[in-house]
A and B are shown apart, each in its own frame.
Chain A
Amino acid sequence: MTALASVAFEISISIGGLPVVVRTDSSEFSDLLKDRYGSFVNSALDPVFELDVELIPSVTTYEDEDLTVRVEHGRWILDRGDFHAECDPVRRHGWVRQSSNPYSIDGVLRILHSLLLAEHGGLLVHAASAVRNGKAFLFSGVSGAGKTTISRLAPPDAQVLTDEISYVRRTKSGYEACGTPFAGELARIGVNLSAPLEALYFLVQGPENRIEPIQPVEAARKLLRNILFFAHDEALVRMVFQSALDFANTVPVSKLIFTPDNRVWELIR
């Protein structure tokens, strides 16, 4: 009998304190992941999910092709032009088929985290976020509202967690924002730290810097428009709806009207 053995490389990528182990038999892909995820790579002993990646030869990929996320027989099925993944939320295990590139696994991880967060009252929000004086602030808005601008204007004592997708976890006492490696226009990955969430601001560019509080109903409506959620599954959508309302009821939400210069940060403390 011939013993077949293949060398497997395991990389634990911990985002928002949730370690996901990615397993591959390619040392090249393993190195690529370590490089891509930098300080988010750790040696977690207790992963919340494990992904086996099957690499296929590079083909013309279609990252822009419509993403579909559906639940079939209790399994999460993720499809995009450049990857196919199936995850078993009970066994906490999944497999991914993609070519050797960092963008596809990045897409899989974003979706996987949105699903894992949904189970625990957390959210992925289309927002920049930063930590200042030990407190986290979220800056949300449509493309062009100023997420990248406000991140660029951040003073030295503020640490930008992300300029693109904010990771919000539910905690016993409220919420905390966590850095993510999901880069936006700044094209640099966020720092790997977290802090209690102090406020959510919806960005509006205007002639002066000021803050206008938003009532919870309007806050929930705006927040729901800016949550990243991909699954076409009624139970999961219901969970996200409840999470958004909990958030809007708990976290102060305001409009941040700002001129694009660094004086706006005088209001963020």
Chain B
Amino acid sequence: MNVYPARSNQIAARMLGDEMMIMSPRDATLFSLNEAGALIWQSADGHTPVSEIVQRVCQEFDVEPDEARADVESFLSELAGHRILNFTEEAQ
């Protein structure tokens, strides 16, 4: 079953140089994501499944699919833990 990560619309985010800066206005927590993190973040649009995000990471950063899948899932879970992203079972 595919899972679709979706960025929260309760945040402010913007690229600065090579990094994605994200702020949660609720508690002013600040996050900065590197290039790989920014690609995953931008792909988390609610209608791109995790499997496709993994493919994008593999293409862009030349990593093995198993390693990429583990990294992407772990990263998305971490963002979800900070409540700046959530998962849906259907594309939005």
A216–B17 CB distance below 8 A:
yes
A237–B17 CB distance below 8 A:
no
B58 at the interface (CB under 8 A from A): no
A215 at the interface (CB under 8 A from B): yes
A220–B12 CB distance below 8 A:
no
Q: A217-B32, A242-B12, A242-B14 are in contact. Are A234 and B19 (CB under 8 A)?
A: no
A245 to B25, CA, bound (A): 14
A217 to B33, CA, bound (A): 10
Interface residues of B in 16-32 (CB under 8 A from A): 16-17, 19, 21, 23, 25-26, 28, 30, 32
A245–B32 CB distance below 8 A:
no
A216 to B32, CA, bound (A): 12
A248 at the interface (CB under 8 A from B): yes
A216 to B16, CA, bound (A): 7
A residues less than 8 Å from B30 (CB atoms) = 221, 224
B42 at the interface (CB under 8 A from A): no
B10 at the interface (CB under 8 A from A): yes
The DSSP consensus for interface residues of chain A is helix
Interface string of A231-269 (1 = CB under 8 A from B): 000110110011001001100000000000000000000
Q: A221-B30, A224-B30, A234-B10 are in contact. Are A241 and B16 (CB under 8 A)?
A: no
Q: Which residue of B lies closest to A225 (CB)?
A: B30
A residues less than 8 Å from B19 (CB atoms) = 217
B32–A234 CB distance below 8 A:
no
A224 to B19, CA, bound (A): 16
A221–B32 CB distance below 8 A:
yes
A residues less than 8 Å from B21 (CB atoms) = 217, 220-221, 241, 245
A242 to B32, CA, bound (A): 14
A241–B12 CB distance below 8 A:
yes
Q: A217-B17, A234-B10 are in contact. Are A241 and B32 (CB under 8 A)?
A: no
Q: A221-B30, A238-B25, A241-B23 are in contact. Are A215 and B17 (CB under 8 A)?
A: yes
**Chain A's nearest CB lies how many Å from the CB of B82?**
16
A167 to B36, CA, bound (A): 37
A237–B25 CB distance below 8 A:
yes
Q: A217-B32, A221-B30, A221-B32 are in contact. Are A248 and B16 (CB under 8 A)?
A: yes
Residue positions of B touching A, CB distance < 8 A = 10, 12, 14, 16-17, 19, 21, 23, 25-26, 28, 30, 32
Known: A238-B23, A245-B21, A249-B16. 5 other contacts (CB 8 A): A217-B16, A217-B32, A220-B21, A221-B30, A241-B21
Which 9 A/B pairs are nearest by Cβ-Cβ distance? A237-B25, A234-B25, A238-B12, A241-B12, A241-B23, A217-B19, A238-B25, A216-B16, A217-B16
